Amino acid sequence: MAIDQQGASPEPAPGYAGRGLVRGFSTASGFVLTLFLTFLGLLAITFFIGRVIPIDPVLAVVGDRATQEQYDVAKIAMGLDQPLWMQFISYVGNVFTGDLGMSVSTGRPVIEDLSRFFPATFEMATLGILIGCALGIPLGVTAAARQGSWLDQVIRVVGLLGYSVPAFWLGLVGLALFYARLRWVGGPGRLDIFYDGLVEPVTGMILIDSLIRGEIDIFWNAVSHIILPAAVLGFFSLAYIARMTRSFMLDQLSQEFVTTARVKGVPERVVIWRHAFNPIRVPLITVIGLSYAGLLEGSVMIETVFSWPGIGNYLTTALLNADMNAVLGATLVIGAVFIVINKISDVLYRVLDPRAR
């Protein structure tokens, strides 16, 4: 780089911008390739799991009273008479064209069912992780800052309860107390029955769709229904996030740079939230990402207790009905969610930590 005699800012060396562009393109292409290969591996896993499960997909379609001739016709129509490698290639091609097969349970294309059920789970899990982060991070920081105090002990007990209490039990207790007895929240389902179907779906998330349509009454009714299941999910994510935040903060508060800041007379609030908390933002991304993915994937019990029409409930029904197309489709979506969240975490690493770039 050249610097003029007046001390002007250095000019980029010839070809610097081009090298930066090439480097950026290489990074982006590597990201896309990694995403594609990971998704392809997920397809292979779901496909072969579907083949080793002792459930006959042909029998689930034709029924156990079908003749052998009807069974053979259905098997050929489903492509199950072909070699396994040809079935896999056909499966991959169908997935990339949006064809996940027909659901035996609902009689609709699986992709259509997933587009209806997944937004409900996404909405509830997103609100749950927001509750978990809003409460878990401050509680974890407070517990670390006051290590050994009664407040620290209380927060640790709350975290222990989050790991120990069964989700379905907590959901039932919440319904019995806050809905059946106190009437503070709405009951099972996403809406009261007389509001059901009044809002035309846009995103599939009832809170957003009701605001888009200007239906404020329906919005508040939806809030009353979602707040309890989201709070139950938020409690479990809160326990994990608070525990990990406390552990990360204790490690940072013992570092020399924190001691130096205190000796210099830096206010304790600044020491905790700027000097000690900033370095733990990157590992917290992993914690929050894993917790969020866990809520999206592991909300089966909560959806069952609250009659929530989400992907967990859909997957449970599909398993009970031996509906393999629906099972594989739901499993594929859940796996794709994990992949996307991990990739988003990688991007946030690079944004928050220059050393990772």
pTM of the model: 0.80
318-342: pLDDT as tens digits: 877 777 788 888 888 888 888 888 8
Query: Tell me, which fold does domain 110-356 have in CATH?
Result: MetI-like fold (1.10.3720)
Decide if pLDDT at 30 tops 80.
no
Q: Measured on CA atoms in the order 288, 292, 294, 299, is the torsion positive or negative?
A: positive
Residues 6+ apart with CB under 8 A from 303: 121, 124, 229, 309, 310, 312, 313, 316
Distance CA 184, CA 213 (A): 26
Fill in the DSSP letter of residue 356.
G
Which range has the worst mean pLDDT, 229-243, 292-306, 341-355? Answer: 341-355
Share of the chain above pLDDT 70, in %: 88
Question: How is the chain split into domains, by residue range?
Answer: 17-96, 110-356
Tens of pLDDT, residues 157-203: 888 888 788 888 888 999 999 999 988 998 888 888 888 888 888 88
- Please say if the pLDDT value at position 97 is more than 70: yes
Q: Which of 160, 130, 132, 156 is nearest to 144 (CA)?
A: 156
Minimal CA–CA distance to 116: which of 103, 129, 130, 128? 103
Per-residue pLDDT at 3: 46
